[in-house]
Chain A
Amino acid sequence: MPTPPAIEVCGVTKRFGTVTALDNVSFSVEPGELFFLLGPSGCGKTTLLRILAGLETPDTGTIRFKGRDVADLPPYERGAPMVFQNYALWPHLNVRDNVAFGLVERKVAKAEIGSRVDDALNRVGLSGYGTRMPGQLSGGQQQRVVLARALVLNPPVVLLDEPLSNLDAKLRVEMRAEIEALHSQSHITFVYVTHDQADALSLASRMAVINAGRVSAIGTPLDLYLRPPNAFCADFLGEANIIEGRGHKVDFAGTASYPAVAVERDPPRDEQSRTPSRLEGPVPPGPAGDRAESKVETAVGVWMVASQVAPGATLRCLVRPENLQPMGGPAEGFNTCEATITGIRMNGPTVTVALEAGGLMLRATLLTQQGAALRKGQQGLWGVAVANTVVLPQ
């Protein structure tokens, strides 16, 4: 039998009064992963993290650490130190004593505590700060102390609750790199909660996207970004043009599509939650894989998609703005449409072009040099590669 997952969450539900914070949530985290729980504020991700830490009790469901059921363990016996969003550095203890806290509770010998605290402070670049009080540290330094306080225990799992949300933009980027380095050096399993998709996309080994208390998708950042299973996920992980369409009546290639292989649009609710990710469900082919193509009627014309679609079935296609580009003319392997530029916004390295096509508002992102010549009001042909026209299965 392979080693059990570091963390297994199975069917966890949590209600606060009439509000369902978590609804039948399940996922598992492999040892050593940097696993993200990503979702908008209020989606229940912090509650989930607190349940893992034992600070909340789930109404139903089980939590296993390395195969061991920990649901009945109080927080102080879970051994899963947490990095709190507001740091929670005890103001009456200096940096050393803050970091040493957990070791003292574990009754580690004094000499060993000293050397381990030194080592931990060193790892986060704060050696020499031991006698400072938390109030004398900057936000970034406080964040490092909290990390040291967790890592000094050398725990199997570290839980991080929006650790970067209180830092300014520049410091975020620095700390992000530092957390990644600390993780890769330590082989500790990290569970990282955030609402910032940039954190998740850049750091995660895998991630679970949470929406309104449910797991919306699980997968690697690349998979979920390129082939999101649903519109929420597509929209939350980046900018998205969602184009509604309907399977074309007559198959172009003459190979009739059968409903049996059609993409499920609205599966029953419980089925949806049981197979949250298209990557784990009945998977349509990836971009480079199957050659199966179908025609889809959309508001901007008949488009090709790289998956099988039942005739007459309604569906939604995702086109990332960076994949939409101006075309000299129709080209093989591209879906095109006539569009009018309604606005241009400079972002620095890129420009965002607002387009109107067949009554739809679309966005395209171009490198600034490519978009320099474009003007508001211009009409022209815009296109996206068929491989990048992604059918959303749900």
Chain B
Amino acid sequence: MRRLRFTTWFLILAVAVFLGVFLLWPLAHVFARATRDQTGFTLSYLRNLFTNPIQIEAVGMSFLIAACVTVTCTVIAMPLAWLFARRAFAGKAVWSGLLLLPMILPPFVSAVGMKILFSRAGALSTLMMNLGLANGPVDWLGRFPLAGIVLLESLHLFPILYLNLVAALGNIDPSLEEAALNLGASPVRVFRRVTLPLALPGMFAGMVLIFVWSFTELGTPLVFGMRRVLPVMIYDSVSEIGTNPAGYAQVAFVLVISALGFWISKRLISRDRSVATLGRLSVGRKEVPLTRTGTWLATGFLVVVLGLAVLPHLSVILLSVSRRWFLTVLPQGWTLEFFGRALNSDLTREAVLNSLGLSLGATVIDLVLGFGIAWLCVRKRVFGGDWLDALSMLPLAVPGLVIAFGYMGCFSGAFPNTLLDPRFNPMILLAVSYSIRRLPYMVRAAHAGLEQVSTTYEEAASNLGASPFRVVWRVTLPLISANLLAGAILCFSFSMLEVSDSLILAQSERFYPITKAIYALIDSLENGVNVASALGVWAMLLLGAGLLWATALMGKRIGQMFRAG
């Protein structure tokens, strides 16, 4: 017993130290620097955000982008969620898998494709000239950069809202709706007076999530060349991190906004749970089959949405297999050489190897930490376990931007020219930041696994002579291996395509992960865009396969991983 208790305390201590050093300290550092000058405490840097015209513009633009993306996502996701939660139609299972596809590529890579489609020399402009609809080339993106950003981010993020909405609708006890029908309300009235009010908390929670994610998105505006947005301003201020505290103030502001957002969505979700379900669902839900016309309409809508979402990806793919796409509607000079070059040039080969190593490291860290935290919370119910759990969920509310900026500020100063100095060698910090960012998913996966596995299995093992370590090794771990594997796949796949941490932390080419290499290639000469696209396609394939594998392992519960609460 004493050995067990020692292990438990050691585990708690290890987890607390890790999260303390790599999560809390950087955040505290950001806040400290944002609110201190030579004389002591000050709010002037923060106040500057709302008085300096450039800063006001950036803050305003960030809010505008986030608001537009949220609205667009809602418009897309609402009907989809209703369709998939309440109606049965041909091909539903396939469609519901395809709906996750837009998540697989970071929007800034799709942005490369978008630029080709809509730029002055791009496909749309050329098409319109060929058809005689325009007199000269039109730079659609230059004219509507905001629309491009909003569209790309919306098409990337709507699956998240969709998953949240399906869950919110699924949580409503069908008997509540049946009672309303029974008392004389028409289906439309039932939806307005019962379904919608009950689903609202979950819906808002999902919307807050989208808002926060698009508010902190760095890659897309960066590729579109929009400098006056908070995330990009933060990115630009990394170079003067030691001297200019303005960046710290911006980061602190972003952090406050996202933390607030996540707090709100968590509150909404917890209310959602207490209101919408009467304990156990009292009757099973039956899905109404769509009529033939309805099926056509639904399929049409899905084709349009997914088609739009896939369009940038498609253009990325086209870019990767062609030499020229300039002042033509379709690309020319078909070739597969870029796929080879994407893996062979020094920059990209190193980037792929870096990303593989970093993602593997992050996944291992997450497996150990995630299982440890879930085990402490679910099985040991240790004092402070709830705090550990809450702490491990905190990264959901902390954008990668903030963590990376915090690391630059903290570790460069505290451990100059060591392996913990990102300017010297960012590898350890990159792996750690990836793992911190994806820790919540792993904790949730392990948590769900442990709660499904009856403690009796472990008691039986202990009863038959297995020591606590042996119980975990021979019974607990094998029983939740599917959950851990799914969590690990998600960690790995998303780490491979982590954007903001990679862009900020990797400062020299030797340490570039895939995403930073893509970013560097976009602007390079000699078909850099094509190589970048080919690299993007490799990444797309990897992440897509990972998502499908994880979905197969977790089944319907995959949606829980992306829920707000």
State whether these chains interact: yes
Q: Report if B474 contacts A (CB, 8 A).
A: yes
- Which of B395-403, B455-463, B490-498 contacts its partner? B455-463
By the criterion CB–CB under 8 Å, are A102 and B462 in contact? Answer: no
Smallest CB–CB gap between B481 and chain A, Å? 8
Residue in B459, B466, B468 whose CB lies within 8 Å of A55:
B459
Smallest CB–CB gap between A97 and chain B, Å? 10
Which chain A positions have C-beta within 8 A of B471? Answer: 76
User: Chain B at the A interface: mostly helix, strand, loop or mixed?
Assistant: helix
By the criterion CB–CB under 8 Å, are A88 and B460 in contact? Answer: yes
Q: Report if A35 contacts B (CB, 8 A).
A: no
By the criterion CB–CB under 8 Å, are A86 and B456 in contact? Answer: yes
Q: How far is A153 from B464 in the complex, measured between Cα atoms in Å?
A: 9
Which chain A positions have C-beta within 8 A of B481? Answer: 92
A-B contacts, CB under 8 A, total: 68
Q: How far is A85 from B402 in the complex, measured between Cα atoms in Å?
A: 52
By the criterion CB–CB under 8 Å, are B462 and A101 in contact? Answer: no
Which chain B positions have C-beta within 8 A of A81? Answer: 463-464
B residues 512-543 in Cβ contact with A at 8 Å: none
Q: How far is A75 from B465 in the complex, measured between Cα atoms in Å?
A: 7
Which chain B positions have C-beta within 8 A of A79? Answer: 465
By the criterion CB–CB under 8 Å, are A76 and B475 in contact? Answer: no
Q: Report if B479 contacts A (CB, 8 A).
A: yes
A residues 43-87 in Cβ contact with B at 8 Å: 53-55, 72, 74-82, 84, 86
Residue in A84, A92, A102 whose CB lies within 8 Å of B465:
A102
Smallest CB–CB gap between B458 and chain A, Å? 9
Smallest CB–CB gap between B4 and chain A, Å? 8
User: Which A-chain residue is minimally distant from B462 (CB atoms)?
Assistant: A75
Smallest CB–CB gap between B420 and chain A, Å? 40
Which chain A positions have C-beta within 8 A of B461? Answer: 90, 101
By the criterion CB–CB under 8 Å, are B463 and A75 in contact? Answer: yes
Which chain A positions have C-beta within 8 A of B4? Answer: 74
Q: Mark A149-163, 1 if CB is under 8 A from B, else 0.
A: 110010000000000
Which chain A positions have C-beta within 8 A of B457? Answer: 88, 90
Q: Report if A91 contacts B (CB, 8 A).
A: yes
Which chain A positions have C-beta within 8 A of B283? Answer: none
User: Which A-chain residue is minimally distant from B456 (CB atoms)?
Assistant: A88
Q: Report if A168 contacts B (CB, 8 A).
A: no
User: Which B-chain residue is minimally distant from A101 (CB atoms)?
Assistant: B464
By the criterion CB–CB under 8 Å, are B463 and A105 in contact? Answer: no
A residues 240-265 in Cβ contact with B at 8 Å: none
Q: Report if B379 contacts A (CB, 8 A).
A: no
Q: Report if A106 contacts B (CB, 8 A).
A: yes
Q: Mark B444-476, 1 if CB is under 8 A from A, else 0.
A: 000000000010110111111111101100110
By the criterion CB–CB under 8 Å, are A82 and B460 in contact? Answer: yes
Q: Report if B1 contacts A (CB, 8 A).
A: yes
User: Which A-chain residue is minimally distant from B477 (CB atoms)?
Assistant: A92
B residues 1-31 in Cβ contact with A at 8 Å: 1, 4
Q: Mark B317-336, 1 if CB is under 8 A from A, else 0.
A: 00000000000000000000
User: Which B-chain residue is minimally distant from A77 (CB atoms)?
Assistant: B465
Q: Report if B413 contacts A (CB, 8 A).
A: no
By the criterion CB–CB under 8 Å, are A82 and B478 in contact? Answer: no
Residue in B456, B478, B479 whose CB lies within 8 Å of A84:
B456
By the criterion CB–CB under 8 Å, are A74 and B459 in contact? Answer: no
Residue in B462, B465, B475 whose CB lies within 8 Å of A106:
B465
Which chain A positions have C-beta within 8 A of B456? Answer: 84, 86, 88
User: Which A-chain residue is minimally distant from B1 (CB atoms)?
Assistant: A74
Smallest CB–CB gap between B463 and chain A, Å? 5
A residues 150-189 in Cβ contact with B at 8 Å: 150, 153
By the criterion CB–CB under 8 Å, are B467 and A76 in contact? Answer: yes
By the criterion CB–CB under 8 Å, are A75 and B474 in contact? Answer: no
By the criterion CB–CB under 8 Å, are B479 and A105 in contact? Answer: no
Q: How far is A222 from B22 in the complex, measured between Cα atoms in Å?
A: 70
By the criterion CB–CB under 8 Å, are A92 and B478 in contact? Answer: yes
Q: How far is A88 from B466 in the complex, measured between Cα atoms in Å?
A: 15
Which chain A positions have C-beta within 8 A of B478? Answer: 90, 92
Which chain B positions have C-beta within 8 A of A78? Answer: 463
Q: How far is A102 from B461 in the complex, measured between Cα atoms in Å?
A: 8
Which chain B positions have C-beta within 8 A of A80? Answer: 463
By the criterion CB–CB under 8 Å, are B454 and A101 in contact? Answer: no
By the criterion CB–CB under 8 Å, are A76 and B465 in contact? Answer: yes
By the criterion CB–CB under 8 Å, are A105 and B475 in contact? Answer: no
Interface centre among A54, A75, A76, A92 (most CB of B within 10 A): A75
User: Which B-chain residue is minimally distant from A73 (CB atoms)?
Assistant: B1
Residue in B1, B463, B474 whose CB lies within 8 Å of A82:
B463
Which chain B positions have C-beta within 8 A of A75? Answer: 459, 462-463
Q: How far is A79 from B464 in the complex, measured between Cα atoms in Å?
A: 7
Q: How far is A88 from B474 in the complex, measured between Cα atoms in Å?
A: 14
By the criterion CB–CB under 8 Å, are A101 and B1 in contact? Answer: no
Interface centre among A80, A84, A149 (most CB of B within 10 A): A84
By the criterion CB–CB under 8 Å, are B465 and A74 in contact? Answer: no
By the criterion CB–CB under 8 Å, are B460 and A105 in contact? Answer: no
Q: How far is A76 from B3 in the complex, measured between Cα atoms in Å?
A: 13
Q: How far is A150 from B464 in the complex, measured between Cα atoms in Å?
A: 8
Known: A86-B456, A88-B457. A105 touches B1 (CB 8 A): no
Residue in A55, A92, A106 whose CB lies within 8 Å of B463:
A55
Q: Mark A340-375, 1 if CB is under 8 A from B, else 0.
A: 000000000000000000000000000000000000
User: Which A-chain residue is minimally distant from B458 (CB atoms)?
Assistant: A88
By the criterion CB–CB under 8 Å, are A91 and B479 in contact? Answer: yes
Smallest CB–CB gap between A76 and chain B, Å? 5
Q: How far is A31 from B478 in the complex, measured between Cα atoms in Å?
A: 38
By the criterion CB–CB under 8 Å, are A76 and B459 in contact? Answer: no
By the criterion CB–CB under 8 Å, are B454 and A86 in contact? Answer: yes
Q: How far is A78 from B468 in the complex, measured between Cα atoms in Å?
A: 14
By the criterion CB–CB under 8 Å, are B479 and A90 in contact? Answer: yes
Which chain B positions have C-beta within 8 A of A101? Answer: 461, 464, 466, 474
Smallest CB–CB gap between A130 and chain B, Å? 18
By the criterion CB–CB under 8 Å, are A105 and B459 in contact? Answer: no
Smallest CB–CB gap between A65 and chain B, Å? 14
Give me 5 A-to-B residue pairs in the complex whose CB atoms sit less than 8 angstroms apart, sorted by A's number: A53-B463, A82-B459, A88-B460, A90-B479, A92-B481
Please give 10 more A-B residue pairs, beta carbons under 8 A apart, in addition to A84-B460, A91-B479, A102-B464: A54-B463, A75-B459, A76-B466, A79-B465, A88-B454, A88-B459, A88-B460, A101-B464, A105-B465, A105-B470
Q: List B residues at the A interface (Cβ < 8 Å).
A: 1, 4, 454, 456-457, 459-468, 470-471, 474-475, 478-479, 481
Complex A-B, nearest 3 residue pairs according to Cβ-Cβ distance, in ascending order: A102-B464, A88-B460, A105-B465
